[in-house]
């Protein structure tokens, strides 16, 4: 049996529960009509000013970009770590080179201030 | 009578195709990016069905957990896409359809000629170890090169974000 | 085949039921504990010690009016709370919660799915959890939601790096990505991973606190700044889904940390009673998180990002390097040497952190938040 089949069960159960609960709530707590401002998005009591989808700092984009690159690096580490004991010193040196190159990148990122959240 | 595994495969294959079509056809960019995440997820599931679980889960971590999130950020950063509805079909789509169909036929015929391996039994220790050994032994140079490429991408990302800031 | 299928289905249902029944209890426990720690009484009107409070809350939330605020993106708005709950529940599937038992002459693993790369599976699913925040923030048509969603998602992805890097060190010690192997290797080393990986444990403790958006890292829902963050526009059962998802996530994290660092289901002393020790360890870990929540004030967002990127990432890299070198050079004594080295390294990291904070305080005595830190 494929070991991932039970995970599919788990996913189906969790999704079914979530859907059923949301559907039940939709059925029990039917929305009642009201004045327009009842459905207005919350803005501390005042009427919403301007668009809610304002532009946001490019910083968030940069964080996501840096995350991708380091995440790929972490993924590369896993297969290496599994066979590490068989490889011994050789594996250590190989990974030191791999990480060393990326460490240069990390230091560069730090030095240009990309990790500063100002 | 197809086996359970084949049915699961067909299901995820269908989701992949539908998702990919939605990515191209949906007008709302944010929804297109979400559909892309769905497509990545079902491709990952296909990998897992084919016993390439390490590749499948890496696909989830990198493509769904990182790259799609970056795309969502980028879309939220650039454009007000709320309210865009319906399909994005340009007037040229009747011309594009036969071209796409033609490419599809050529690819399928080309793939059909390839002698595919029969289904492999799952490796007892999992695929991660095999991949690790391949990284260090057979594909060592490519492996180390990957870190240089990542470094280049890192510098490029900083450069791009800096440009936008000034 | 059929037996396996039925057994795993029953296990999936049972695990789902048990984890979900933890949730109301944990909600009650957290409210009560935090109340006591803050010299309050906490829930005490419904049932003995207010034990029925979560049930009352659930009933209230489910019969609440189901409002779609104006301008929300209905489908994504509907999907977001589910996306914060389903991955956490599905992640629990690979957690081994006991040594295999024999039922009807067959060996049954006390684990829903015995996946040989379970660690990677859990990391993959926790990387999906970010979608709940992104979808909720974007679909709500509310400025606070968008800000909260962005903050939360940037925070979650940032802290995934130290988590991934510290888990690699565990894999180095174990030589496998299977969670069962992790438990077995701790048994064969005769020492739980918390000792040879003390720094990794600390890093994971902090990172998962941030990953779960719990105080002091609950920047995405800092009520003094952005109302309730990404779930500002959520009410009724949709809000309850977020709330439950948070606790399901906490149970899953506690179970993962128990398996990775605390020897899984093994008994520290005395006989091995199935499930008992596993549950005790999970609860100990959850209580620790509740204590942390009641103790520490919320950090600023720039401090949060600095902690993740400038302290935890290098610290986990140092931990990884030390683990790799000692495993190669230490031979059979590697685990013992690591147990000492890990504590030394943890102290070193602590000193560096202290020095960095002192330096910063000296250069900016007022500790005024830098301009734009709120975004």
Which residues in B lie closer than 8 A to residue A101 (C-beta atoms)? 144, 147-148, 150-151
Q: Between B and C, how many residue pairs show a Cβ–Cβ distance under 8 A? A: 63
User: Cα distance from A23 to chain C (closest Cα, Å)?
Assistant: 10
| Domain CATH code at residue B2 | 1.20.120.1200
Show which of residues 46-105 on chain A sit within 8 Å of chain C, judged by CB atoms: 48, 52-54, 56-57, 59-60, 63-64, 66-67, 70-71, 74-75, 77-78, 81-85, 88-89, 92, 95-96, 99, 103
Phi, psi for C64 (deg, rounded to 5): -65, 155
Q: How far apart are CA C107 and CA B37, in angstroms?
A: 38
Do C81 and A14 lie within an 8 Å CB cutoff?
A: no
Residue at B11 is within a domain: yes
The pLDDT value given to residue C368: 47
Phi, psi for C89 (deg, rounded to 5): -65, -40
Q: Decide if A25 touches C, using CB distance below 8 A.
A: yes
Judged by average pLDDT, the poorest of A79-83, C17-21, C230-234, C308-312 is C230-234
Given a contact cutoff of 8 angstroms between Cβ atoms, the answer to whether C299 and C307 are in contact is yes
Does the pLDDT value for residue C131 go beyond 50?
A: yes
C333 burial level (CB within 10 Å; 0-12, 13-18, 19+): exposed
The residues that bridge with C98 in the sheet, in sequence order, are C110
C95 burial level (CB within 10 Å; 0-12, 13-18, 19+): buried
Mutation target for C interface from A5, A6, A8, A82: give the one with most C CBs within 10 A.
A6
DSSP H helices in B114-139: 128-136
Query: Helices C276-295 and C2-37: crossing angle, nearest 10°?
Result: 30
Regions of chain B where pLDDT drops below 70: 1-2, 79-90, 119-120, 122-125, 163-166
pLDDT bucket at C375, cuts 50 / 70 / 90: very low
Residue at B99 is within a domain: no
Which residues in B lie closer than 8 A to residue A112 (C-beta atoms)? 158, 162
The pLDDT value given to residue C326: 86
Do A30 and C65 lie within an 8 Å CB cutoff?
A: yes
Q: Between A and B, how many residue pairs show a Cβ–Cβ distance under 8 A? A: 125
Residue at B106 is within a domain: no
Do B64 and C128 lie within an 8 Å CB cutoff?
A: yes
Do B64 and C123 lie within an 8 Å CB cutoff?
A: no
The pLDDT value given to residue C369: 47
Phi, psi for C96 (deg, rounded to 5): -80, 120
pLDDT tens digits, one per residue of B107-130: 999 888 887 777 667 666 677 878
Determine the distance from the C-alpha atom of residue C130 to the mean position of all C-alpha atoms in its chain, rounded to a whole number: 13
The pLDDT value given to residue B166: 46
Q: Give exposure, C286-309, as e/b (b: 16+ Cβ within 10 Å).
A: beebbebbeeeebbbbbbbbbbbb
pLDDT bucket at C168, cuts 50 / 70 / 90: very high
Last residue of a domain, one of B65, B85, B105: B85
3-state secondary structure of C112: coil
pLDDT tens digits, one per residue of C248-300: 999 999 999 999 988 878 777 777 777 788 888 899 999 999 999 888 888 88
Residue at B96 is within a domain: no
Q: Which domain holds residue B142?
A: 125-166
Question: What superfamily does domain A5-111 belong to in CATH?
Answer: NADH:ubiquinone/plastoquinone oxidoreductase, chain 3 (1.20.58.1610)
User: Cα distance from C37 to chain A (closest Cα, Å)?
Assistant: 30
Mutation target for A interface from B37, B71, B154: give the one with most A CBs within 10 A.
B154
Do C233 and A89 lie within an 8 Å CB cutoff?
A: no
| Complete DSSP assignment for B76-94 | HHH---TT--SB---TTHH
* Residue B80: closest C-alpha in chain C: C138
What is the ipTM score, two decimals?
A: 0.84
Do B155 and A105 lie within an 8 Å CB cutoff?
A: yes
Q: How far apart are CA C55 and CA C73, in angstroms?
A: 30
Given a contact cutoff of 8 angstroms between Cβ atoms, the answer to whether A116 and C358 are in contact is no
The residues that bridge with B26 in the sheet, in sequence order, are B87
* Three state DSSP letters for B16-64: HHHHHHHHHHECCHHHHHHHHHHHHHHHHHHHHHCCCHHHHHHHHHHHH
Name, in order, each residue with C-beta under 8 angstroms of C122's C-beta and a sequence gap of 6 or more: C91, C94, C179, C252, C256
- Residue ranges of the domains in chain A? 5-111
pLDDT tens digits, one per residue of C317-342: 989 988 888 888 877 777 777 778 88
Mean pLDDT, range A80-99, rounded to an integer: 84
Do C117 and B76 lie within an 8 Å CB cutoff?
A: no
The pLDDT value given to residue B106: 93
pLDDT tens digits, one per residue of A10-64: 888 989 988 888 888 778 877 777 777 777 777 776 666 666 666 677 778 888 8
Q: How far apart are CA C29 and CA B54, in angstroms?
A: 38
Do B150 and A64 lie within an 8 Å CB cutoff?
A: no
Which residues in C lie closer than 8 A to residue B65 (C-beta atoms)? 124, 127-128, 130, 157, 160
Residue at B65 is within a domain: yes
ω into residue A53 within 30 of 0, thus cis? no
Q: How far apart are CA C263 and CA A83, in angstroms?
A: 22
Which residues in A lie closer than 8 A to residue C143 (C-beta atoms)? 43, 48, 52, 54
Do A22 and C68 lie within an 8 Å CB cutoff?
A: no
Do A62 and B161 lie within an 8 Å CB cutoff?
A: yes
The per-residue pLDDT of chain C, averaged, comes to: 83
The pLDDT value given to residue B87: 65
Q: Which of B158, C329, B136, C161 lies closest to A97, judged by CA?
A: B136
Q: Decide if A90 touches B, using CB distance below 8 A.
A: yes
The pLDDT value given to residue B43: 93
Given a contact cutoff of 8 angstroms between Cβ atoms, the answer to whether A112 and B155 are in contact is no
For residues B134 and B73, membership in a common domain is answered with no
Q: Which chains, if any, share at least 3 CB pairs under 8 A with chain C?
A: A, B
Q: Which of C241, C152, C187, C195 lies closest to C342, judged by CA?
A: C195
Q: How far apart are CA C172 and CA C170, in angstroms?
A: 5
The pLDDT value given to residue C371: 45
For residues B132 and B75, membership in a common domain is answered with no
Given a contact cutoff of 8 angstroms between Cβ atoms, the answer to whether A71 and B66 are in contact is yes
Residue at B136 is within a domain: yes
For residues B129 and B81, membership in a common domain is answered with no
Mutation target for A interface from B139, B158, B159, B165: give the one with most A CBs within 10 A.
B158
How many angstroms separate the Cα of A18 from the Cα of each of C72, C76, C237, C324?
A: 20, 15, 10, 43
3-state secondary structure of C103: strand
pLDDT bucket at C107, cuts 50 / 70 / 90: confident
How many angstroms separate the Cα of C18 from the Cα of each of A38, A57, C86?
A: 39, 42, 15
Q: How far apart are CA C279 and CA A114, in angstroms?
A: 43
Does the pLDDT value for residue C110 go beyond 90?
A: no
Give the pTM.
0.86
Q: How far apart are CA C259 and CA C211, in angstroms?
A: 18
Given a contact cutoff of 8 angstroms between Cβ atoms, the answer to whether A5 and C5 are in contact is yes
User: DSSP assignment, residue A56?
Assistant: -
The pLDDT value given to residue B133: 81
């Amino acid at each position: 049996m494929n070991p991932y089949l039970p995970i599919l069960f788990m996913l189906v159960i969790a999704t079914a529960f979530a859907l059923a609960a949301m559907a039940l709530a939709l059925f029990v707590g039917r929305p009642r009509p009201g004045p327009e401002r009842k459905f207005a998005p919350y803005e501390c009591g005042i009427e919403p000013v301007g668009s809610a989808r304002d532009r946001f700092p490019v910083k968030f984009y940069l964080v996501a970009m840096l995350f991708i690159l380091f995440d790929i690096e972490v993924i590369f580490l896993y297969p290496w770590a599994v066979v590490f004991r068989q490889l011994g010193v050789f594996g250590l040196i190989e990974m030191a080179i791999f990480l060393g190159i990326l460490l240069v990148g990390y230091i560069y990122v730090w030095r240009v201030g990309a990790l500063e959240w100002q | 009578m197809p086996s359970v595994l084949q049915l699961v495969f067909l299901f995820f294959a269908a989701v992949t195709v539908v998702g990919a079509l939605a990515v191209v056809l949906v007008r709302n960019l944010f929804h297109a990016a979400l559909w892309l995440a769905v497509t990545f997820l079902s491709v990952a599931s296909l990998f897992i069905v084919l016993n390439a679980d390490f590749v499948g889960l890496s696909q989830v971590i990198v493509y769904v957990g990182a790259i799609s999130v970056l795309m969502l950020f980028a879309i939220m950063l650039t454009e007000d896409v709320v309210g865009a509805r319906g399909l994005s079909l340009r007037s040229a789509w009747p011309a594009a359809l036969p071209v796409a169909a033609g490419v599809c036929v050529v690819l399928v015929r080309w793939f059909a000629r390839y002698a595919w391996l029969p289904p492999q039994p799952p490796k007892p220790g999992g695929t991660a170890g095999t991949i690790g050994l391949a990284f260090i032994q057979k594909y060592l140079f490519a492996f180390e090169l990957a870190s240089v490429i990542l470094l280049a991408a890192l510098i490029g990302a900083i450069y791009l974000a800096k440009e936008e800031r000034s | 085949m059929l037996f396996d299928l039925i057994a795993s289905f029953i296990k999936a249902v049972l695990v789902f039921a048990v984890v979900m029944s933890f949730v109301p209890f944990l909600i009650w426990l957290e409210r009560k504990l935090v109340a006591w720690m803050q010299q309050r009484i906490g829930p005490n009107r419904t049932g003995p010690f207010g034990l029925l409070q979560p049930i009352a809350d659930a009933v209230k939330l489910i019969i609440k009016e189901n409002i779609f605020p104006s301008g929300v993106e209905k489908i994504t708005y509907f999907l977001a709370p589910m996306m914060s709950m389903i991955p956490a529940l599905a992640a629990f599937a690979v957690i081994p919660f006991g040594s295999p038992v024999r039922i009807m002459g067959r060996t049954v693993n006390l684990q829903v799915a015995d996946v040989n790369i379970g660690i990677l599976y859990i990391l993959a699913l926790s990387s999906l959890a970010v979608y709940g925040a992104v979808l909720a923030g974007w679909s709500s048509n509310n400025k606070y939601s968008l800000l909260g969603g962005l903050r939360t998602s940037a925070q979650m992805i940032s802290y995934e790096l130290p988590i991934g890097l510290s888990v690699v060190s565990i894999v180095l010690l174990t030589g496998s990505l299977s969670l069962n192997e992790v438990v077995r290797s701790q048994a064969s080393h005769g020492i739980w991973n918390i000792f040879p990986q003390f720094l990794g444990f600390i890093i994971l403790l902090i990172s998962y606190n941030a990953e779960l958006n719990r105080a002091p890292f609950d920047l995405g829902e800092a009520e003094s700044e952005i109302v309730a963050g990404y779930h500002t526009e959520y009410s009724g059962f949709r809000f309850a889904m977020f709330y439950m998802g948070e606790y399901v996530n906490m149970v899953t994290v506690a179970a993962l940390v128990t398996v990775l660092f605390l020897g899984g289901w093994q008994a520290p002393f005395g006989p091995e009673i199935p499930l008992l020790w596993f549950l005790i360890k999970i609860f100990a870990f959850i209580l620790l998180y509740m204590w942390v929540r009641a103790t520490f004030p919320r950090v600023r967002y720039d401090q949060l990002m600095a902690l993740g990127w400038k302290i935890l990432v290098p610290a986990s890299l140092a931990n990884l390097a030390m683990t790799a070198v000692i495993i190669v050079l230490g031979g059979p004594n590697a685990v013992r040497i690591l147990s000492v080295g890990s504590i030394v390294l943890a102290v070193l990291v602590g000193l560096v952190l202290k020095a960095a904070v002192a330096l910063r305080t000296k250069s900016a005595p007022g500790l005024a938040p830098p301009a734009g830190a709120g975004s």
